[in-house]
C-alpha cells in the first residue's frame, strides 16, 4: 500500500510539473494568442489572470517582457503590490499593455469578473491618456527622456494600440469588455487622430511617398534615431504592419488609398531577391551564428533599415557607424537582432484583393492615351490591366504611358491588341520584372517558351524607355522578352537576364534601336528577321551571344549594325553566335568587338552541315575582338558590294522600290 502511495505522489508531481512546464515553456505572447478558447475557462487561466492584475500599475499600463504566466513567490507579490504606485517602465513596447488587456478580455469571456473588467478599462484609459495631440503614441508613458518619447512604430507599438481602438469602436465583439458609448466616441476621435498621424509621417523621398521610419520626432514628424544602431531610416518591417492596418479600414479615404498604393510601390521597389538568411542554433535554441547566402530560390526579403534618400540597406553596430553588409557587424548585434524581414510579402499578397474592393475602375478620358502608375495616380495600376482594357484591333495607335516604378508582373500584348505603344517614363526607372524559369514552369521540354517576363504577340507593337528583366538568375533558360509578331520596334530599352534573355520569334520583322541587351548563353535567339542598331550587347559569361534559327530561304536573319559588343571584366571567351537551326543567318557590320570575342568568332554547335547551310558574316568591325584572319573558314568577311545590301530599308522595309514611309520611320 505504501508503495502505491509513493507511486501516486510521484505521478501527481510529474503531471503537475508537466502541465506547469508546458505553460512555462511557452512564451507569454503565444499563450495569449495560440491557446484554444476553452482554455481561458480553466483554473490555470484564472491563476495567470491574477498575476496579470498584480503586474498592472495604478496608471493602467503594464511593463514589458514579463512572462506573466510564471509562478510568483510571496516575496515578489509583495514587491509588485508596492510597485503599483510607480509609473516606471510602463509601456506599450513589445506588445505590452495591449496583450495583457487581450488576455483579461479572453478570460472574462468565460469567467466573468468585475476585477478583469476594471483592469481592462483602466488599461484602456491609459492608452487614451498616452496619445500625443498629433495622434501619435510614445514608447513609454509617462514620458521618458531620450528616444522613448518619439512617435513609436518600432515593433508595431502604435499599430497594436490602433488595432485595440479599432476593435472597440467597431463593437465587433473582439473584446468581451466594452467601454461606455461616451468613451467609444473618444475612441473614434483617438483612432482617427492616429491614422492622421500615420498619413502625415509617411516619408517623402524626392517628393514621392514611400514608407515609415521606426520612430518619428513628435514635434517635427521627421524620422528619428533610437538606439545607437537604430539610425533614422525607412523600415520594411514596421511599414508593412502599418499598411496592413490601413488596408483593414472600411471605406478608406483618398489619402489612405494613396498611402497604401505608394507603400506598395515602395515594397516592390525595395524587395531583395536571391538572398537567404542562414542561422545556427545552440542546444538552448539561441542563435549563435547568422549569415546571408545567395539563393536564387529564396523568397523575397526586406532590410530592416534603408537609407532615406535611396533605399540602400545598411547595418549598424553599437558604435553607430553604418556598414554595407551584415557580415561587418559584430556577433552580438548580428546574431541578436532581426536585420531582415518578410512581413511586406503579406502586404503584396493581400493588395490585389484590397485594390479590387476599394479602387473603382474609372474609364480613361482618352482611351487612346492612358497612364499606368504604381502610386495610383494613373488610369491603371498594372500594365496588364491597361492592355486588357484597350480596344481590340484599333484604327489608330494606343499609347500606354508607364510611370516610373517596379512592375512585378508577367505582361502579354495580345494578338488582338495591335498598334499598342508601351512607353516608359525612363529606361532606368520604369522596370517590368518577373522570375520564371525552365524548372519553375516545369511543363516539359518546351518550358522555356513560357518563362518570359513580357510577351508581344501583336503586330506593330512599340516598346520604348523600359527595362524588361528576368530576375531568376543563372538557373537555366529564363526569357525576359519574347516578340512573336511583325513590325515590332524596341527603342531605348534595357533587356536583362542570363540564358535566353531575348527570344525573337515568328516570321515577322523586328527593330531594336539604342538598346542594352545582356545575358550569358544564347541570350539573343530565334528565327525572326531582326535589325539591331546602335545597341550594346553585353556578355556576363563566356558562352555564345546569338543562336539564330533563321528559316530556309529567308533573305535576312540577325543584322547588328553600329553596335558595341562588351562583356564583364572577367569574361574572356565568347562566340558571336552558333546555329540553333542549320540555316541560321547573323551579320555584324561596323560594330566594336571587345577582346572577349574569340578569334574563331563562330561555333557550329556540333552541326557539321551548318557550316554549309548557315551564313555568318562581318564587315568593317573594329576592336580587339575583330580578328578576320582567324575566323572559322566557313564564315564570311563581306565585300563592299555585298555589305550595302544590309541597310535598314532592305532588311526591314516593306516598300523597297518606292518613297512611301516605312513602318519603322514613324516611331
- The HSE-up count of residue 290 (CA atoms within 13 Å, CB side) is 18
> Which residue bears the cell 472600411?
250
**Torsions phi, psi of 528, nearest 5?**
-75, 165
**Helix H or strand E encompassing 329:** none
Range of the domain at 221: 202-360
On whether residue 180 sits in a domain, the answer given is: yes
Q: Cβ contacts of residue 42 below 8 Å, gap of 6+?
A: none
Residue 181: the pLDDT is: 92
DSSP 8-class letter at 499:
B
Cβ 40 vs Cβ 110: under 8 Å: yes
Task: Compute the distance between CA of residue 658 and CA of residue 64 in angstroms, rounded to an integer.
Answer: 83
Residue 262: exposed, middle, or buried by beta-carbon count in 10 A (0-12, 13-18, 19+)?
buried
Q: Report residue 316 as a C-alpha cell.
A: 549598424
Cβ 595 vs Cβ 625: under 8 Å: yes
241/185 same-domain check: no
CA 136 to chain centre: 28
Q: Cβ contacts of residue 395 below 8 Å, gap of 6+?
A: none
On whether residue 63 sits in a domain, the answer given is: yes
Q: Which of 159, 177, 196 finishes a domain?
A: 196
Task: Compute the distance between CA of residue 274 and CA of residue 172 in angstroms, rounded to an integer.
Answer: 42
Residue 21: the pLDDT is: 33
Task: Compute the distance between CA of residue 453 and CA of residue 476 in angstroms, rounded to an integer.
Answer: 15
Q: Which of 360, 381, 402 finishes a domain?
A: 360
Angle, helix 43-55 to helix 114-130, in steps of 10 degrees:
40
Residue 361: the pLDDT is: 62
Task: Compute the distance between CA of residue 266 and CA of residue 657 in angstroms, rounded to an integer.
Answer: 52
Task: Compute the distance between CA of residue 234 and CA of residue 236 in angstroms, rounded to an integer.
Answer: 7
Low-confidence residues in the chain, pLDDT < 70: 1-26, 360-362
184/212 same-domain check: no
Q: Report residue 442 as a C-alpha cell.
A: 516545369
CA 163 to chain centre: 25
Q: Which of 360, 381, 397 finishes a domain?
A: 360
**Helix H or strand E encompassing 455:** strand 454-456
188/211 same-domain check: no
Q: Report residue 419 as a C-alpha cell.
A: 498598334
Catalytic-residue membership of 366: no
> Which residue bears the cell 517628393?
207
Q: Cβ contacts of residue 580 below 8 Å, gap of 6+?
A: 522, 525, 526, 547, 548, 549, 605
Residue 16: the pLDDT is: 38
Domain at 500, CATH number: 2.160.20.10
Q: Which residues pair with 622 in a beta bridge?
A: 592
Task: Compute the distance between CA of residue 162 and CA of residue 199 in angstroms, rounded to an integer.
Answer: 14
189/246 same-domain check: no
107/248 same-domain check: no
> Which residue bears the cell 491563476?
47
Task: Compute the distance between CA of residue 360 and CA of residue 380 in angstroms, rounded to an integer.
Answer: 10
**What is the number of structural domains in the chain?**
3
Which is catalytic among the residues 500, 514, 568, 629? 500
Domain at 133, CATH number: 1.50.10.20
On whether residue 480 sits in a domain, the answer given is: yes
On whether residue 624 sits in a domain, the answer given is: no
310/252 same-domain check: yes
Which is catalytic among the residues 93, 156, 522, 568? 522
Angle, CA 485 vertex, CA 480 and CA 491 arms, to 5°? 60
> Using H for helix, E for strand and C for coil, what is the string for 84-128?
CCCCCCCECHHHCCHHHHHHHHHHHHHCCCHHHHHHHHHHHHHHH
Residue 428: exposed, middle, or buried by beta-carbon count in 10 A (0-12, 13-18, 19+)?
exposed
Residue 5: the pLDDT is: 39
439/466 same-domain check: yes
Task: Compute the distance between CA of residue 147 and CA of residue 223 in angstroms, rounded to an integer.
Answer: 11
Residue 2: the pLDDT is: 43
427/285 same-domain check: no
> Which residue bears the cell 503590490?
81
Task: Compute the distance between CA of residue 522 and CA of residue 477 in angstroms, rounded to an integer.
Answer: 9
* Residue 429 CB coordination number (10 Å): 14
- Is the CA virtual torsion 314, 317, 321, 326 positive or negative? negative
249/353 same-domain check: yes
Task: Compute the distance between CA of residue 134 and CA of residue 15 in angstroms, rounded to an integer.
Answer: 53
Task: Compute the distance between CA of residue 130 and CA of residue 119 in angstroms, rounded to an integer.
Answer: 17
321/431 same-domain check: no
Q: Which residues pair with 513 in a beta bridge?
A: 491, 533
Buried b (16+ CB within 10 A) or exposed e, 134-148: bbbbbbbbeebeebb
On whether residue 406 sits in a domain, the answer given is: yes
Catalytic-residue membership of 522: yes
Cβ 545 vs Cβ 576: under 8 Å: yes
On whether residue 384 sits in a domain, the answer given is: no
> Using H for helix, E for strand and C for coil, what is the string for 555-611?
CCCEEEECCEEEECCCCCCEEEECCCCCCCEEEEECCEECCCECCCCECCCCCCCHH
225/188 same-domain check: no
CA dihedral 213, 217, 219, 220 (to 10 degrees): -60
On whether residue 370 sits in a domain, the answer given is: no
> Which residue bears the cell 563581306?
638
Q: Report residue 19 as a C-alpha cell.
A: 502541465
347/393 same-domain check: no
On whether residue 612 sits in a domain, the answer given is: no
Amino acid at each position: 500500500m505504501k508503495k502505491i502511495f509513493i507511486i501516486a505522489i510521484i505521478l501527481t508531481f510529474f503531471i503537475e510539473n508537466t502541465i506547469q512546464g508546458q505553460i512555462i515553456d511557452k512564451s507569454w505572447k503565444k499563450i495569449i494568442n495560440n491557446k484554444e478558447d476553452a482554455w481561458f475557462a480553466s483554473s490555470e487561466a484564472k491563476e495567470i489572470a491574477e498575476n496579470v492584475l498584480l503586474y498592472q500599475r495604478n496608471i493602467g499600463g503594464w511593463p514589458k517582457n514579463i512572462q506573466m504566466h510564471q509562478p510568483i513567490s510571496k516575496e515578489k507579490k509583495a514587491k509588485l503590490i508596492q510597485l503599483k504606485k510607480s509609473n516606471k517602465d510602463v509601456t506599450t513596447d513589445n506588445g505590452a499593455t495591449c496583450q495583457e488587456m487581450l488576455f483579461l478580455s479572453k478570460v472574462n469571456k468565460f469567467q466573468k469578473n468585475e476585477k478583469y473588467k476594471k483592469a481592462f478599462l483602466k488599461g484602456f484609459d491609459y492608452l487614451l491618456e498616452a496619445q500625443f495631440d498629433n495622434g501619435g503614441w510614445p514608447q513609454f508613458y509617462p514620458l521618458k527622456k531620450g528616444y522613448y518619447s518619439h512617435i513609436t512604430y518600432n515593433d508595431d507599438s502604435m499599430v497594436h494600440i490602433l488595432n485595440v481602438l479599432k476593435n472597440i469602436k467597431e463593437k465587433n465583439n473582439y473584446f468581451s469588455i466594452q467601454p461606455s458609448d461616451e468613451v467609444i466616441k473618444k475612441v473614434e476621435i483617438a483612432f482617427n487622430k492616429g491614422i492622421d498621424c500615420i498619413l502625415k509621417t509617411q516619408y517623402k523621398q524626392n517628393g514621392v511617398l514611400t514608407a515609415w521610419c521606426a520612430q518619428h520626432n513628435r514635434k517635427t514628424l521627421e524620422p528619428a534615431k533610437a538606439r545607437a544602431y537604430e539610425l533614422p531610416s525607412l523600415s520594411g518591417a514596421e511599414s508593412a504592419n502599418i499598411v496592413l492596418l490601413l488596408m483593414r479600414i472600411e471605406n478608406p479615404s483618398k489619402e489612405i488609398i494613396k498611402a497604401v498604393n505608394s507603400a506598395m510601390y515602395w515594397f516592390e521597389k525595395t524587395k531583395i531577391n536571391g538572398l537567404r538568411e542562414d542561422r545556427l542554433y545552440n542546444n538552448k535554441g539561441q542563435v549563435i551564428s547568422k549569415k546571408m547566402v545567395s539563393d536564387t530560390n529564396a523568397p523575397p526579403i526586406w532590410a530592416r533599415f534603408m537609407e532615406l534618400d535611396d533605399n540602400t540597406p545598411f547595418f549598424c553596430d553599437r558604435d553607430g557607424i553604418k556598414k554595407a553588409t551584415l557580415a561587418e557587424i559584430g556577433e552580438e548585434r548580428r546574431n541578436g537582432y532581426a536585420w531582415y524581414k518578410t512581413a511586406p510579402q503579406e502586404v503584396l499578397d493581400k493588395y490585389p484583393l484590397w485594390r479590387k474592393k476599394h479602387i473603382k475602375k474609372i474609364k480613361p478620358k482618352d482611351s487612346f492615351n492612358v497612364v499606368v502608375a504604381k502610386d495610383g495616380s494613373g488610369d491603371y495600376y498594372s500594365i496588364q490591366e491597361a492592355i486588357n482594357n484597350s480596344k481590340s484591333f484599333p484604327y489608330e495607335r494606343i499609347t500606354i504611358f508607364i510611370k516610373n516604378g517596379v512592375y512585378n508582373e508577367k505582361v502579354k500584348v495580345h494578338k488582338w491588341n495591335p498598334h499598342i505603344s508601351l512607353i516608359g517614363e525612363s529606361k532606368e526607372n520604369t522596370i517590368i520584372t518577373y522570375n520564371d524559369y525552365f524548372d519553375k514552369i516545369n511543363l516539359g521540354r518546351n518550358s522555356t517558351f513560357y518563362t518570359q517576363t513580357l510577351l508581344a504577340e501583336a503586330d506593330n507593337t512599340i516598346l520604348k524607355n523600359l527595362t524588361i528583366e528576368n530576375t531568376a538568375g543563372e538557373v537555366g533558360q529564363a526569357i525576359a522578352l519574347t516578340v512573336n509578331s511583325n513590325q515590332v520596334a524596341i527603342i531605348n530599352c534595357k533587356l536583362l537576364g542570363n540564358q535566353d534573355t531575348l527570344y525573337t520569334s515568328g516570321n515577322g520583322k523586328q527593330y531594336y534601336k539604342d538598346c542594352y541587351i545582356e545575358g550569358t548563353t544564347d541570350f539573343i535567339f530565334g528565327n525572326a528577321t531582326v535589325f539591331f542598331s546602335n545597341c550594346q550587347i553585353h556578355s556576363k559569361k563566356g558562352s555564345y551571344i546569338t543562336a539564330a534559327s533563321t528559316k530556309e530561304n529567308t533573305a535576312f536573319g540577325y543584322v547588328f549594325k553600329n553596335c558595341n559588343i562588351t562583356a564583364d571584366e572577367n569574361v574572356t571567351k565568347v562566340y558571336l553566335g552558333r546555329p540553333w537551326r542549320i540555316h541560321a543567318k547573323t551579320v555584324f557590320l561596323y560594330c566594336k568587338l571587345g577582346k572577349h570575342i574569340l578569334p574563331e568568332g563562330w561555333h557550329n554547335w556540333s552541326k557539321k552541315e551548318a557550316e554549309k547551310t548557315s551564313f555568318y558574316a562581318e564587315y568593317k568591325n573594329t576592336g580587339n575582338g575583330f580578328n578576320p584572319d582567324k575566323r572559322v573558314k566557313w564564315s564570311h568577311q563581306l565585300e563592299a558590294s555585298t555589305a550595302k545590301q544590309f541597310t535598314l530599308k532592305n532588311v526591314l522595309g516593306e516598300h523597297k522600290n518606292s518613297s512611301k514611309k516605312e513602318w519603322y520611320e514613324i516611331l
